[in-house]
Every structure is written in structure tokens, then in C-alpha cells.
Structure 1
Amino acid sequence: MKLLKQLLNFYLNSSIHVALSCYALVRITFHVFHIQYDNPMALFVFFGTIVGYNFVKYDALVRVKKKPIGNLLKIIALCSLISIVLVGYYFFQLKRITQIVSFGILAITALYTLPFFPNRSNARNWAGVKIYIVSLCWVGATLVLPLINAEIPFTSDFFIKCIQRFILVFVLILVFEIIDLANDDPHLKTVPQMIGVKKTKLLGFLLLIPFWFLEIFISTFNYHDALINLVMVVILMLFIAFANPNRSKYYTSFWVEAVPVFWWLMLAYN
């Protein structure tokens, strides 16, 4: 049992789980826009997420706080190094325009992590900004890049899906911010810190209404996908409703982050 818990913690701490969620959203993008499975694109996002998230999580720990590197962190570093190699491999299989746009997403990630401006912390610590930067990066990586690489024109469907994807990630982060409320620095000004837990939950519920109703306006609308999206809305509402600062870290780091995976599996196998 102890070994299983250690494996689970490694799976979560090495960002493999969140990378799987991003991969699932890429597959959902393929499904919605009828794009043939693009292995380099999907795996570029998967391994790129591992690299990006591990960089964000552990850069300050090692570079700034200069904490000793334990065995787990060494294994995670090795996992990240392998992922960097694979990111490079799949990067060169993407179209040129996709490569250029991916550098833009990389720049935002770097801004999020590194203090580029004098006497300023990184964007991760800018008051109230974190949730918007992360949501934009997820939209870019899981929706914009796949469409660009598939040379799909930016129609109204694209913009509707961008809004939906942004709302989805925004709501998922709201759950994280509720759980992390007791540990987050007050200067971060997260949504629960600014308006309280109850109003944050209400905001999450209200955002899920346009998330679902926007589905009606896409040209490829079908009742099967709309029903599955409704199921996902209900699941997200339950996660929001039962979220509180006393929940286990696995509530968000495993279950909430698995929502896109459940969504993809329902779309793929129904």
C-alpha cells in the first residue's frame, strides 16, 4: 500500500496526470473539429505540459530557495529531461506556424515563472493574474495549436470553443483555489481570497451556464456531445459544491484534474 501511494505521489508530482488532462483536451479538440489523430501534436502538448508544469513548480524551489534535491526530485528532474528531449523531437514534426505560436505560449509560461522585470516578482505572484494566465495557456496549447497545425480556419466555432475552454479551465482553477485557500499567500489575491468561498462557488456555477449553452451555437452541434457536456457540467458543479479548504490534496490534484480525461473518454467511447 505504501508503494502504491509513493507511485501515485510521483505520478502527480511529476505532472504526468495534468499532462494527461491536457492530452485529453487535445483529443477533444480533434473530435469536435473532425481532425484526424495527429500523434506529434498530441504528444508535443503532453510532454510540453510535463516540462512546463515541472519548471513552474520546482524552479523557485531549487533556484531561489536552494533547497537540497532529494531522490524524488532527482527522478522528477530525469522525467523532465526525457520530456524535454521528446518535446524537441515532436516540435520539429509540427508545421512552421505551429512552432512559432508554441514559442508564444512558451514565453507566457516563462513570464509566469521567471522575474523578467526589475524589482518585480514573476507573473505567478502578481495579484489576481495567475488564473487568467493559466487558462490562456491551456486554451492555446489544447485548442489553438491543434487547429493551426491541422490548418483549420478560425471560424465562429473556433471562438466559441475558445471561450468554452477558457471557462472550463477557469472553473477548474477556482476549485484549486478554494482547496488551497488556507495555504495561499494573501498577496496573491485569488478569487476566494477576494470574494470568499461561497461567492467563488456561485461564480463557478454561473460560469458553467454559458459554458454549456454556447454548445448550441456551434455549427457541428449534435445532441450526443451536448448531453455529454451536460454530464460534465453536473460533475463540475458537484466538485465545486463539495470543495472546501479541508479537503485532501488528492481532491484536486487527482480527481478534479481528471475531469478532462473523463470527458474525453465519454466522447470517445459512446
Structure 2
Amino acid sequence: MNSIVKALIYSNCWVAFCFSFLSYGFSNHFHIPHAEKYAIFLFFSAISAYQFHRYFTNKNQQTNRQNWVNKNKFWNNLVSIIGLLGLFTSFTFINWQDSSKVIIASNLLIVIFYVLPFPLFNKAFRSLPYLKTILISASWTSMLSLPFVNESREIPLFLIGFIVLQTIGQLIYFDCRDYQHDEKTLQTIPQLIGIKQSKVVAVVLFLLSVSLLQIGEKFSLLLLLIFLSNVSGLIIKKEQQDTAVAAFIWDLPFFIIGCSFLWY
């Protein structure tokens, strides 16, 4: 059982599921048609992006995640192949508008040049100072907005603000975890102000994000659950951050938020 859980988390299936379920919750709540198709497309998009980046990470990193990848190359490659096939197949199931294709193409460029040198800078985007968090948040926000754009629906401003604040807050989890491994030139939030101060910033971001939800949707007690799920990721001890349990907790808020939008 433990090996199955690790496989789901370390293969990026868990984070992709939470991300797609969040989109599914949004689409259902705001009565966007074809919610299932968009969720499936976003699931395979996330899987493909994460797996692509994995092939350009340091294979010698002594982390539980990298050790799992090194020991399970066949299964990791199989997930990559299934992810790509699923991405291409799910793409054909949706009638895309030109504006949506622009969003998808822009995100494809971000995914590629996040790890490969961009000709203009001769550096990957992730190596450019201050850009890592901004790009990831922008990418997640635009992809979650995709169903609204493609169905010619106006996405509520509070929802855009919520997604931006939520994603930046959750990225602080991973930046704190990678503090020792990241190049100092990246200038991530923990590198700029320290880990403890970064966690304070994350709490503020989460408070602001649930405040926007209260203003826009009035989820009442569910907001407390969302906030607690966010904050729980900040109290994981340093020696436990490189575990499957930590990764599960860090991605869990997306799933809980998706459930909240489905509930109301």
C-alpha cells in the first residue's frame, strides 16, 4: 500500500489530479459546459509538464522523489507516454477557440523554456531571478481560466485574485523545501527574506485568498477548512519535507477547494 501511495505522488499523478479536480469544481460551480473534458485535459497537461521537467532535473539529487524516479525508470517513462497520449487525445475532444489556443501555446512555451535555454536570454526561465514564482502562478492561473475563456464566459475577478494568491502561497511550500538545492541566483521568496518570514507571507496570502472567497461566494465554514489545509503545509518539519506525506499535504488544498466549489 505504501509503495502505491508513493507511486501516485512521486509520479505526479496526485498533483495533476488535485489540479484537474480544482478546475472541475470551478467549471461545475459556474455552470461551464464540458467540465469533465476540461478537467481531463488539464490532468494530462499537468502530468506531461511535470514529467517533461523531470527529465531535466539533477539525477544525482539525494531526495526521496529522485530516488524513486531512479529506481522506477520504466514506470516513470510509462507515465510520461500515457500523459502525452492522453494530452493529445483529450485535446481533440474539445472545440478550441483561437484565444484558447493562444493560452495553450503560451503555456507550452513556458513549459519548454522553463528548463531549456530561451534563445533571447540563453538561459532557462527557471534560472532567471525572481521569475520562477511569477511564471508558475501565471501558468496555473491561465490554465484554470481556460474553460471560461473557451466557453466565452467572463471569469469573476475575485476568482482570478484567489487563484493567484493561492498558487503563490502554495509555491512557498516547495521553495522552502528546495531552499538548499535551488541556485541562489533564483531569488525565490525564501531566498529573499528567509524561510520563517516566507511562511508568514504564505499565511497572509492564504488569509487574503479565503477572504476573496468569502466576498465572492460566502463559503462560511468551508473557508476555515481551506485555510487550515493551507496552513498545515507550513508546519511540516524540515526533516519531513522530503516525504510523500508532505507532498500529499501540500497539494491537498487544491482538492479541498475543488470540493468546496462542487458543494456550493
Shift in Å, 1:257: 1.0
Deviations 1:217-257 (A, max 9, x none): 43xx3x3x2431232113212322x1443223234321111
Structure 2 residue aligned with 1:215 = 213
Q: 1:238 to 1:39 in 2, by over 3 A?
A: closer
Structure 1 residue aligned with 2:63 = none
Q: Distance in 2 between matches of 1:7 and 1:150?
A: 37
Structure 1 residue aligned with 2:249 = 255
Structure 2 residue aligned with 1:234 = 228
Q: Distance in 1 between matches of 2:149 and 2:213?
A: 21
Q: 1:177 to 1:244 in 2, by over 3 A?
A: farther
Matched, 1:13 2:7: no
TM-score normalized by the length of structure 1: 0.83
Letter matched to residue 126 of structure 2: R
Shift in Å, 1:38: 2.3
Q: Distance in 2 between matches of 1:28 and 1:53?
A: 22
Q: Distance in 2 between matches of 1:215 and 1:6?
A: 37
Structure 1 residue aligned with 2:107 = 105
1:97-136 correspondence to structure 2 within 5 Å: 97=97, 98-117=100-119, 120-136=122-138
Letter matched to residue 88 of structure 1: F
Q: Distance in 2 between matches of 1:149 and 1:72?
A: 38
- 1:110 counterpart SS class: helix
Same amino acid, percent of matched pairs: 19
Q: 1:186 to 1:137 in 2, by over 3 A?
A: same
Match of 1:28 among 25, 33, 39: 25
Comparing both chains, which one has the higher relative contact order based on Cα–Cα distances under 8 Å and sequence gaps of 6 or more? 2
1:159-170 correspondence to structure 2 within 5 Å: 159-170=157-168
Structure 2 residue aligned with 1:39 = 36
> Contact (CA 8 Å) 1:124, 1:130: kept in 2 or not?
yes
Structure 2 residue runs without a partner (length 5+) = 60-68
Q: Distance in 1 between matches of 2:237 and 2:262?
A: 32
Q: 1:199 to 1:60 in 2, by over 3 A?
A: closer
Q: Superposition RMSD on alpha carbons, in Å?
A: 2.3
Q: Distance in 1 between matches of 2:9 and 2:223?
A: 26
Letter matched to residue 259 of structure 1: P
Structure 1 residue aligned with 2:52 = 55
- 2:185 counterpart SS class: helix
Deviations 1:79-103 (A, max 9, x none): 1112211111111222332334211
Letter matched to residue 147 of structure 2: P
TM-score normalized by the length of structure 2: 0.85
Structure 1 residue runs without a partner (length 5+) = 63-68
